[in-house]
Chains A and B, each alone.
Chain A
Amino acid sequence: MIEYLNSIQNSLIYKNFFLVLSGLDNTILLLLISLPLGFVLALLFALGRVSKITLLSRTIASYIFVIRGTPLLVQIYLIYFGLGSVKFIRESFLWYALKEPFWCGVIALTINTVAYGAEIFRGGIQSIEKSQVESGLSLGFGKFLLLRKIILPIAIRKVLPSYGNELILMVKATSLVSLTTYMEMTGIARKIMAKTFAPVEAFIAAGILYLFLNFLMVQFVKYLEWKYNPHLRLNN
């Protein structure tokens, strides 16, 4: 029995697991900044998209079109390699953020999730029944109060499942930041593989951790759905 435990402890997958685990905080750090920022911006962009100001709505529509039509990898490379090669950006204050792979990753992930999130929230806002807005108006709600008390709560509640999908896609998207030399879980797994020539073990360890992270994300979204849909609960 003890021999068996020792053999597990000496196996590559066990050792690598803890090495890869040390990159978990970097992955989570990326998410902790880009997801809340992306959520707030996506809401604002969605409101701009459905607003009656044509210029604003068109601009946001073309922004969404461009971001959704190009791979995230292109966006990350454009920000990390592309913007860094422009001289006046290198001399401006932006360089303090853009020289760090971490902030490049955060910026790229935020830009990406805002486009997808805005489209999701737009669907939610447009699917609100007109009668609900009208009843709010008849109660004398102003524009801001209408937004805060009626439109946003109903819209967000409706799109929670699809926004949850987007959150999971974001967890997976953080792995691409490793290609800008930022050492999160995939980057560390890649480094281990280059060092040990064991092709599979490190990646499996990283895969288990990503699955766990996504599992937590699913539970979090499920909890939010449960919390904000009290009328759909079976026994209350």
Chain B
Amino acid sequence: MFKFDKLVFGDAGWGDEFLIATFMTLLVSILSMGLGLFLAIITVWAKIIQNRITRFIANFYTTVIRGVPELLVIYLIFFGGNAVVMSIAKVFGYNKYIELNALTIATIAIAVISATYSSEVLRASYLAISKGQIEAARALGMNKFSIFFKVISPQVIRHALPGIGNVWQITLKDTSLISVTGLVEIMRQSRISSNVEHSPLTFLITAAILYLCLTTISGRVFKTLEVNYSKGFST
């Protein structure tokens, strides 16, 4: 039932393929988490400056993406992304066919989803900073950049780490949906292998175990980071 011999490394088994697939999953998760955090910072910025239009756009973006299934967002970006990129290129006078590679599309799709979750976390932790600190920094004559990097960021990171850890877990699990675009990560690899070997149970359980390892280990990493960042604060 469970064929261990199919999981050895080398040509006889699928061990090395799964190892590469695991790195691909990690790569997509890290890239999209990074891009997602960047998008989230922009979204938070759009929400907290006193501007009705940017706030409306940011709220619309987070509401729609969080109200629509992840799979649908991925399909939309996977099938619609090329058309959008081509129409943008047309504006600049480039009329040839452009095809984004699977990794780019996967990263963008997952980042767009994960940014909505991170932005909520970041916004909450920004609001947790007391206004007096920013005023005090301004009174000391700090400019906007040093206020952001020396006063706001360190505290936001400390407040947001548990929430960002949760978002990371969601992002890691969402990368399994990327398998529908054909990018060979753990999920796709397990489908390919089980189609070749006619033994879905073996490879799906392997995939489950790999995901479990990834989530557990990264959970530990975030715990350590939390302890590190909350030094001097009794939690």
Chain A residues with CB below 8 A from B187, complex form: 71, 73-74, 77
Residues of chain A in range 187-231 having any CB-CB distance to chain B below 8 Å: 189-190, 193, 199-200, 203-204, 206-207, 210-211, 214-215
Residues of chain B in range 39-63 having any CB-CB distance to chain A below 8 Å: none
Residues of chain A in range 133-176 having any CB-CB distance to chain B below 8 Å: 168, 171-176
Say how far A62's CB is from chain B's closest CB, in angstroms. 11
Determine whether A70 belongs to the interface, using a CB cutoff of 8 Å to chain B: yes
Determine whether B177 belongs to the interface, using a CB cutoff of 8 Å to chain A: yes
Determine whether B216 belongs to the interface, using a CB cutoff of 8 Å to chain A: yes
Determine whether A110 belongs to the interface, using a CB cutoff of 8 Å to chain B: no
Say how far A210's CB is from chain B's closest CB, in angstroms. 5
Determine whether B226 belongs to the interface, using a CB cutoff of 8 Å to chain A: no
Contact B212 A70 (CB under 8 A): yes
Chain B residues with CB below 8 A from A81, complex form: 194, 200, 204
B1-26, CB under 8 A of A: which get 1 and which 0? 10000000000000000000000000
Question: Can you name the residue of chain B whose Cβ is closest to the Cβ of A72?
Answer: B173
Chain A residues with CB below 8 A from B190, complex form: 77
Question: Can you name the residue of chain B whose Cβ is closest to the Cβ of A165?
Answer: B66
Determine whether B80 belongs to the interface, using a CB cutoff of 8 Å to chain A: yes
Q: Complex Cα distance A77/B201, Å?
A: 9
Contact B68 A210 (CB under 8 A): yes
- Interface residue from A74, A82, A206 paired with B176 (Cβ < 8 Å): A74
Residues of chain B in range 160-204 having any CB-CB distance to chain A below 8 Å: 173-174, 176-177, 179-180, 187, 190-191, 194, 198-201, 204
Contact A73 B67 (CB under 8 A): no
Contact B194 A199 (CB under 8 A): no
Contact A199 B173 (CB under 8 A): no
Chain B residues with CB below 8 A from A85, complex form: 198-201
Interface size on B, residues (CB 8 A): 36
Q: Complex Cα distance A173/B170, Å?
A: 13
Determine whether A56 belongs to the interface, using a CB cutoff of 8 Å to chain B: no
State the majority secondary structure of interface residues on B.
Answer: helix
Determine whether A86 belongs to the interface, using a CB cutoff of 8 Å to chain B: yes
Chain B residues with CB below 8 A from A207, complex form: 64, 68, 72, 76
Determine whether B110 belongs to the interface, using a CB cutoff of 8 Å to chain A: no
The answer to whether A176 and B71 touch (CB under 8 A), given A69-B215, A74-B211, A86-B1, is yes
Contact B68 A71 (CB under 8 A): no
Q: Complex Cα distance A135/B117, Å?
A: 41
Determine whether B83 belongs to the interface, using a CB cutoff of 8 Å to chain A: yes
Say how far B119's CB is from chain A's closest CB, in angstroms. 16
Contact A73 B208 (CB under 8 A): no
Determine whether B85 belongs to the interface, using a CB cutoff of 8 Å to chain A: no
Contact B72 A210 (CB under 8 A): yes
Contact B79 A172 (CB under 8 A): no
Contact A77 B67 (CB under 8 A): no
Contact A190 B75 (CB under 8 A): yes
The answer to whether A200 and B80 touch (CB under 8 A), given A77-B200, A85-B199, A85-B201, is yes
Question: Can you name the residue of chain A whose Cβ is closest to the Cβ of B215?
Answer: A69
Chain A residues with CB below 8 A from B71, complex form: 175-176, 178-179, 186
What would 10 A/B residue contacts be, using CB atoms closer than 8 Å? A66-B208, A66-B212, A74-B187, A82-B200, A86-B201, A176-B69, A203-B75, A203-B80, A210-B72, A215-B67
Residues of B within 8 A of A (CB): 1, 64, 67-72, 75-76, 79-80, 82-83, 173-174, 176-177, 179-180, 187, 190-191, 194, 198-201, 204-205, 207-208, 211-212, 215-216
Q: A210-B68, A211-B64 are in contact. List 16 more A-B contacts (CB 8 A).
A: A71-B177, A71-B187, A71-B211, A73-B187, A74-B204, A78-B201, A85-B199, A168-B67, A175-B71, A175-B72, A178-B71, A199-B82, A200-B80, A206-B72, A207-B64, A210-B67
> 9 closest Cβ contacts across the A-B interface?
A175-B69, A199-B79, A71-B176, A81-B200, A71-B173, A172-B69, A82-B201, A69-B215, A69-B212
Residues of A within 8 A of B (CB): 66, 68-75, 77-78, 81-86, 168, 171-176, 178-179, 186, 189-190, 193, 199-200, 203-204, 206-207, 210-211, 214-215
